[in-house]
Each structure stands twice: as C-alpha cells, then as structure tokens.
Structure 1
Amino acid sequence: MTALELLRPDHAPALLAFERRNRAYFAASVPDRGDAYFEEFDQRLSALLAEQTAGMHHFHVLTDGDGRVLGRVNLVDVADGSAELGYRIARHAAGQGLATLGVRQVCALAARRYGLTTLRARTTVDNAGSRTVLARAGFEETGTLVLMEKPGLRFTLDLPRAPL
C-alpha cells in the first residue's frame, strides 16, 4: 500500500537508492543533481531536514508497503503563505497515478497542516505528464518561463483557507 510520509532521517537509505536508480530517468526532464549530490548525500539530507524543522520546506516521500521510495513530493521555499511544489516518481511507478495522488495529498496538507494559501509549480511545455498532474490537482497556468533551455509554464493553486 502506498503511503505519503513526511521525510525523516530513517528514510535516507531508501531515498538514496531511489535517487540513484532513477538518476538518468530524472535527468531527461529536470537538471541532473550531479555527482556531489550522491557523494555528500548524508550531509545534504541532514541540512535539508534541519531546514524542514525550521519550517523552510516540507519534504515528503511516497513509499510502498516494504519501505521503498516510489516518489517525492516537496514544498520548498515556504514563505508568506506560499511554497513551490516539486515532485518526481520512480520510472517503474510512473503512469500509475502516484504523482496525482501524492500531489493532491500534499496540497491538502499544505492548507490544513502547514497553513499555506498558495502553491506554485513549473514544468517544461513538453512534459505532458507533469502538466496533466498539475491540472488534475487544480493548478492553473499563469505564465511562461524557460527551464533547462526549453519553453516552460508556470502554474498556481490557491488553497482553501483552513477554518479557525
């Protein structure tokens, strides 16, 4: 059974395996993390978890019933009630609705648990899968940009305000 979990230190081995296994797959649509990311993984993860504790980011993993990481859904650069949404799903798990599931769950958490009111996202024009996930989650196209030297699109989602 797939579960969305807030990133914890004990996810480190499964998260590193996920990133290594899918490195080439991810690099086809987002900038490669580079060798240093993998060589300094433990230190980098510790720094990111400290930033999460400080409320700067909210990192999540989608896991299977055996503790393997199937994907990531993150809210980064949290400030003034908004954050940037980013996500990636393992190659073998793509096309099964996991990105849509994870994004919808994180959007709900963003409003209820994190008190956010707006999420931003972006993707390249040629990434039809990512555009579909954003549309299914209710994001609206709000502009253009250049990503990885390709035409890209900006998206925004206004979240419902949590009741007082």
Structure 2
Amino acid sequence: MPELQLLRLDHATALLAFERENRAYFAASVPDRGDDYFAHFDARHRGLLAEQAEGRCLFHVLVGDAGEIVGRVNLVDVADGSAELGYRISEKAARRGLATAAVRQICGLGATEYGLSTLRAAVTLDNAASHAVLIRTGFRAVGETVLDGRPATSYVRYLSGGCAEAEGS
C-alpha cells in the first residue's frame, strides 16, 4: 500500500513525472494544469512548500514501494479549523481503493494532527468516481456549485470521528 507523505522538496522529480504521465488522464475530469505548470514546475514546487510552511496548505503525496508517486491529497485554504480537500490518483493506480484509503487517512490527520474540524470538497457532476470516494468517506452533499465553468456538487465532512464512522460504508 502506498504511503501518504507530507510534500517535501525531494519529491519534485517523482511528482513532475506523475503529473506528466497522467496529464491527459487527469484532464478528462479536472481542468488541465497548462503548459506553464510544467515549464515552471521547480519554482511552483518551491512555492507550494512555502505555502505549506506558512500553514496555509498541506500537500501530500502517495508514494509507492519504488519511490514513485501514485497520488496526491491536498488540503488547501487551511483556516479557522477548515480546509478544502483535493485529490488525484494516477491512471495506473486507479480503481484499487487508494483514493478512499487516502481520504480516510487525511480525515484522520486533519482531526488529530492538523487541528481541523471541517473539510470541504467539490466535484464536477461527471466525476462519478470522486463522488463515490467522498460518500464512502463520510462526506455529505450540501449544494451545487461551479468548478471552472462546469456544474459541480459541494460536499462537507465534519471530522469529529476522523472519518471512522464512514469506514464501514
């Protein structure tokens, strides 16, 4: 099972490979990062680490046995006990329960290590897999929104139990 690790500087090479290898796969369900993301990846990576050091975001990677990155799980806009959850799993590692396991783990970390009480997420209507992950991990739909011009559902998860009550779902 891949290990969830807080993003570090030495993840840069593997993270860039992950993003490049999965670019088209991710673009099918979320907006493409664009060429600029890849052209300035090192500077962007350092910027993310600076945001993390300031406590505004908590970026995580799922690292496989060979050191490859197979997923990302991020908490952004961390403030007042709340954060926005985002995640992506590589095409090769998809459909194995990794997203569900990683979201459960991040819920636990949010409650016990990061002092969070609430996680929010939003998923476009056509991303059935992500809707299923959120529901399995105890998130509840709370409304409609728009993500990059596409209709989406907003979700919320209260972390009092660290996602424990959703584990049997």
Q: TM-score, normalised by structure 2?
A: 0.93
Counterpart mapping for 1:31-70 below 5 A: 31-70=31-70
2:30 aligned with 1:27, yes or no?
no
Aligned to 1:75: 75
Unaligned runs of 5+ in 2: 163-169
Paired residue type of 2:160: P
Task: Name the CA shift for 1:113/1:128 in 2 (closer, same or farther; >3 Å).
Answer: same
How far apart, CA to CA, are the structure 2 residues paired with 1:137 and 1:97? 11
Confirm or deny: 8 A CA contact 1:117 1:161 kept in the other structure: no
Which residue is equivalent to 2:166?
A: none
Query: How far apart are 1:161 and its partner, in Å?
Result: 7.5
Superposition misfits of 4+ residues, deviation over 3 angstroms: none
Counterpart Cα distance in 1 of 2:54 and 2:150: 34
Q: What SS does the corresponding residue of 1:93 show, helix, strand or coil?
A: coil
Task: Normalising by structure 1, report the TM-score.
Answer: 0.96
CA distance in 2, matches of 1:12, 1:39: 13
Determine what percentage of the aligned residue pairs are the same residue. Answer: 60
> In the TM superposition, what is the alpha-carbon distance from 1:148 to its structure 2 partner?
3.6
Instruction: Give the distance between the partners of 2:150 and 2:53, measured in 1 at CA.
Output: 34
Residues 43/129 of structure 1: CA separation in 2 closer, same or farther (3 Å cut): same
Q: 1:11-49, CA deviations, whole angstroms, 9 ceiling, x for partnerless residues?
A: 000000000000011111111111110010000110110
Aligned length: 162
Give ranges in structure 1 of 5+ residues lacking alignment.
none
Cα RMSD for the two superposed structures: 1.2
